[in-house]
Structure 1
Amino acid sequence: MEDLTCFVIIGFGKKTSYANGKMRVLDLDETYTLLIKPVFDALNISCYRAIDKNLSGSIDKLMLQEIKNADIALVDISTLNANVMWELGVRHALRPNHTIMICEQEQMGSIPFDVGHFVIHQYTHSDQGIPYKEVERFRAHLTNIIKGVLNQEPKLNDSPVFTFLENELKALEMNITEDASQNEQNPESFASLLDKAEEAKKTKDFSKALKLFGEAKTYAEKNMTLKDNLAFIVSRQALCTYKSKQPNELEALVNAKIILEELQPLQSNDLEVLGLTGAINKRLYELTGDLNYLENAIVSYEKGFQLKQDYYNGINAAFMLYKKTDLLKSQHKPWEDLKLKADYIRNTVLEIALNLEKEPDFSTKEDAIWILLTIAEAYHYKGLDDLMTNYEKKSQDMAKAKNDTFAMSAYSEQKEKIKDLNINFK
């Protein structure tokens, strides 16, 4: 199997699934890195996505070349990503066999009829991640599938489209690879470009991060297979602008807000866009006292919480509602109903965060510290100081183990802001 290749057709990053009327966010990078690539690596089959290839030449032509020439195409139709479905159709037109389809289990209830009669291998992926046992199970299952596909004699045709178009395709045999030699001269890829940008962001080199995200945006705008990454890139540009505090904090926030306007944040259903919009407006309100920023922060955080019941948007929605409650009290205006709403969201968030902590792989989660700090903040509101202190200690221990100083600093700042509110939270 040394010279075989597998082209993986899959969405990049976190994508939203609306299967069965529920909104969930699935991390398809996790699907690729945990379930797919390790299997092909173990079989010594070269495995890659379009974004892992270099960026010189036309990535659209490169993608078509890989779709046609790869010995195996593995297609993940989870979230019914439009680009993925189109590329699956291209594979079915260009290659008669060795196309493997996989899908997140809950999505199976809403896949298109024309795809549903193919064999589709299912895996479990919740918006909290892929369970450890599922990683083991699916890797073993996929390994058997690949071995079975490669050992077929005679090879089975899994593409009725190719059968129908076979004569027409023969005339195009030599035309689809015209940019191959040019593309192999440059090792840079869209994925590595984003990785470098993310690393610069993590090390707070925001000017470098913005430059790299700008390059990534240019590529994404020009190439159809990358366009569904634009929302992520623009969000990152806004985040890095906001965090840079250049030329000063207020101007940085205003500039970040302008960048986000491209994504129409008040109409968006993207949780990252909503959370970032809330954060920018929250800080703008704190700096300026402009009530429009207060209202925009509440709208964004509440919408994010309503869509997914996530702890981040929820705990921030509660805080901003408490801020508005405090303001109404100071103006001798009715405030009781608003506080009840904030209390309800706060208590719901606490329940959500405590359930997340109970998950068996909790300590490995990237956001585990933030979940613990959210619990501490919720107990702080409720006046349960012993429980608050307990979760602060858990957070400190985890932060020390992960060498994370930012989370605890941000929590301490938030705690001081809560103390400034003239509200009896109990």
Structure 2
Amino acid sequence: MSEKKNCFVIIGYGKKTSYANGKVRVLDLDETFSLLIKPVFDALNINCYRAIDKNLNGSIDKVMLQEIKNADIALVDISTLNANVMWELGVRHALKPSHTIMICEKEQMSSIPFDVNHFVIYQYAHSEEGIPFREVERFRQQLSQVVSGLLQLETPPTDSPVFTILENELKKDTNGGSTESFATIMGKAEKARKRKDFAAALALLDVAKGFALESMALKSSLSTIITQQALCTYQLKEPNPKQALLDALVILEELQPQQSNDIEVLGLSGAIHKRLFELENNTENLDFAIQVYSKGFNIKGDYYNGINAAFMLYTKASLFEADSEEWDDLKTQADFIRNSVLSAVLKLEKESSFLESKDALWVLLTAAEACHYKKNEAKMTEYEQKANDLAIKLNDTFAMSSYQTQKDKIAKLNF
């Protein structure tokens, strides 16, 4: 007679707060355990328990680690993104190659970390009022099928990203490794992008992404790779400018721009929606661009996001009659951000090593644009000249061309 299997459930206890999608909700995770999880394992004759259900004598940490490691199955509920649960999930992935099942309350799925959102996660509905009866039946049936199917496999699939990477590294070593390093490929992609060979850049970035997905050490580079893929996609303008922008949005969605606090992701998302607005005059794109640009500025005082937030606010103001209440409110918001950005870039200019910084040219052009909004022609001209001198020194024609394009757009605004 085979020994009875066990399932260790990693889940928060009691009522926990969820902040998914900007909403504050309180979910009863004890109800999740008692209604959705335990009855399934009881029916399959599998011991099912949480740490709180065990008599934890001695070192709690030691016992917890033993349970995580030794359990035949670990079921992990990442709803509410409980810090202890996420840590214990990482420990399980580090110690066990398979038999880890992840579940999550469906609204939380929109804001779970990138590190786990591309793995299989089974979703269930849970409101503050409780779990609907039909959902209990549906999820129990689904979970029962998943567990039964998993236990019938002679060789279960590896569901740990740690062990997946180790397997891939072993295969790579066996095959003699790769011919080019990750850094070399990323360098080639950047050079291709700068010479506007966006198709070549995308091909190289695709290879780089494959590297990053297979290597724990490179995983932190995924965000950069994906933003570069989105940027090159819309700059390629194929099959047409609008479709290229829409394709770029699909790529960028992997980084969840609406939940992101990454200023690069926010800035790129704003740039795509800005261009869609210019193509279609759809105010939804305008409002989204204002939202993400403003967030990027508010989070870190980033001058790029800030100056673009100001421009989009001035753009929206120009849709209303001058001196109307709407026009005045939007212009006031734009003026505030503009002044904040100008103050920030002027501080950067005063730093001793400013001209050696990689952003010096864009800082000077941002100062010129802010002065343009203030209708301070003398200061605008002064910063344009400083920027032009530096652009000649750097042999950079792109920045000055982009600035002039933006300046032409500003001239058409009514503010």
> Which residue number corresponds to residue 214 of structure 1?
206
Task: Report the CA distance between 1:182 and its aligned residue.
Answer: 5.0
Q: Provide TM-score, normalisation by structure 1.
A: 0.56
**What amino acid does structure 1 have at the position aligned with 2:295?**
K
The answer to whether structure 1 residue 377 and structure 2 residue 372 are counterparts is no
> Which residue number corresponds to residue 95 of structure 1?
none
> Which residue number corresponds to residue 257 of structure 2?
265
**Rounded Cα–Cα distance in structure 1 between residues aligned with 2:264 and 2:178:** 32
> Which residue number corresponds to residue 365 of structure 1?
357
Task: Report the CA distance between 1:417 and its aligned residue.
Answer: 0.6
- Say if 2:172 and 2:178, in contact at 8 Å, map to a contact too: no
Unaligned segments of structure 2, at least 5 residues = 1-85, 95-168
TM-superposition CA deviations, 1:89-122 (whole Å, max 9, x none): x9xxxxxxxxxxxxxxxxxxxxxxxxxxxxxxxx
**What amino acid does structure 2 have at the position aligned with 1:210?**
L
Change (3 A) 1:187 1:410: same
Among 193, 196, 206, the alignment partner of 2:188 is 196
> Which residue number corresponds to residue 393 of structure 1?
385
Task: Report the CA distance between 1:183 and its aligned residue.
Answer: 7.3
Alignment of 1:14-413 (within 5 A): 182=174, 186-329=178-321, 334-413=326-405
**What amino acid does structure 2 have at the position aligned with 1:335?**
W
**Rounded Cα–Cα distance in structure 2 between residues aligned with 1:367 and 1:247:** 32
**Rounded Cα–Cα distance in structure 2 between residues aligned with 1:324 and 1:271:** 22
**What amino acid does structure 1 have at the position aligned with 2:360?**
A
> Which of 1 and 2 has greater Rg?
2
**Rounded Cα–Cα distance in structure 1 between residues aligned with 2:292 and 2:173:** 48
> Which residue number corresponds to residue 406 of structure 2?
414
Change (3 A) 1:392 1:350: same
Task: Report the CA distance between 1:380 and its aligned residue.
Answer: 0.8
Displaced runs of 4 or more, over 6 A: 177-181
> Which residue number corresponds to residue 31 of structure 1?
none
Task: Report the CA distance between 1:332 and its aligned residue.
Answer: 5.5
Aligned to 1:328, what secondary structure does the other structure show? coil
Aligned to 1:352, what secondary structure does the other structure show? helix
Task: Report the CA distance between 1:334 and its aligned residue.
Answer: 2.3
**What amino acid does structure 2 have at the position aligned with 1:390?**
E
**Rounded Cα–Cα distance in structure 1 between residues aligned with 2:212 and 2:293:** 28
**What amino acid does structure 2 have at the position aligned with 1:323?**
T
**Rounded Cα–Cα distance in structure 1 between residues aligned with 2:405 and 2:267:** 18
- Say if 2:317 and 2:414, in contact at 8 Å, map to a contact too: no
**Rounded Cα–Cα distance in structure 2 between residues aligned with 1:222 and 1:178:** 11
Q: Provide TM-score, normalisation by structure 2.
A: 0.57
**Equivalenced residues, count:** 253
**Rounded Cα–Cα distance in structure 2 between residues aligned with 1:304 and 1:369:** 20
TM-superposition CA deviations, 1:204-240 (whole Å, max 9, x none): 1100100011111122122222222111111000000
Task: Report the CA distance between 1:330 and its aligned residue.
Answer: 6.8
**Rounded Cα–Cα distance in structure 1 between residues aligned with 2:380 and 2:406:** 14
**Rounded Cα–Cα distance in structure 2 between residues aligned with 1:217 and 1:184:** 20
Aligned to 2:318, what secondary structure does the other structure show? helix
Aligned to 1:327, what secondary structure does the other structure show? coil
TM-superposition CA deviations, 1:376-401 (whole Å, max 9, x none): 11111111111111111111111011
Of stretches 268-277 and 331-340 in structure 1, the one that deviates more from structure 2 is: 331-340
TM-superposition CA deviations, 1:294-331 (whole Å, max 9, x none): 01100110000000001100000000011111113379
**Rounded Cα–Cα distance in structure 2 between residues aligned with 1:419 and 1:333:** 22
Change (3 A) 1:331 1:282: farther
Higher relative contact order (CA 8 A, sep 6+): 1
RMSD: 2.6
TM-superposition CA deviations, 1:252-299 (whole Å, max 9, x none): 111111111111101111110000000000010011001110011001
TM-superposition CA deviations, 1:345-402 (whole Å, max 9, x none): 0001001001101111111111111000000111111111111111111111110111
**Rounded Cα–Cα distance in structure 1 between residues aligned with 2:224 and 2:173:** 31
**Rounded Cα–Cα distance in structure 2 between residues aligned with 1:181 and 1:248:** 42
**What amino acid does structure 1 have at the position aligned with 2:229?**
Q
Aligned to 1:360, what secondary structure does the other structure show? coil
Change (3 A) 1:204 1:328: same
**Rounded Cα–Cα distance in structure 2 between residues aligned with 1:409 and 1:230:** 30
- Say if 2:276 and 2:285, in contact at 8 Å, map to a contact too: yes
**Rounded Cα–Cα distance in structure 2 between residues aligned with 1:402 and 1:251:** 34
Identical-residue share of aligned pairs (%): 53
- Say if 2:307 and 2:341, in contact at 8 Å, map to a contact too: yes
Task: Report the CA distance between 1:416 and its aligned residue.
Answer: 0.8
**Rounded Cα–Cα distance in structure 1 between residues aligned with 2:323 and 2:380:** 31
Change (3 A) 1:182 1:188: farther
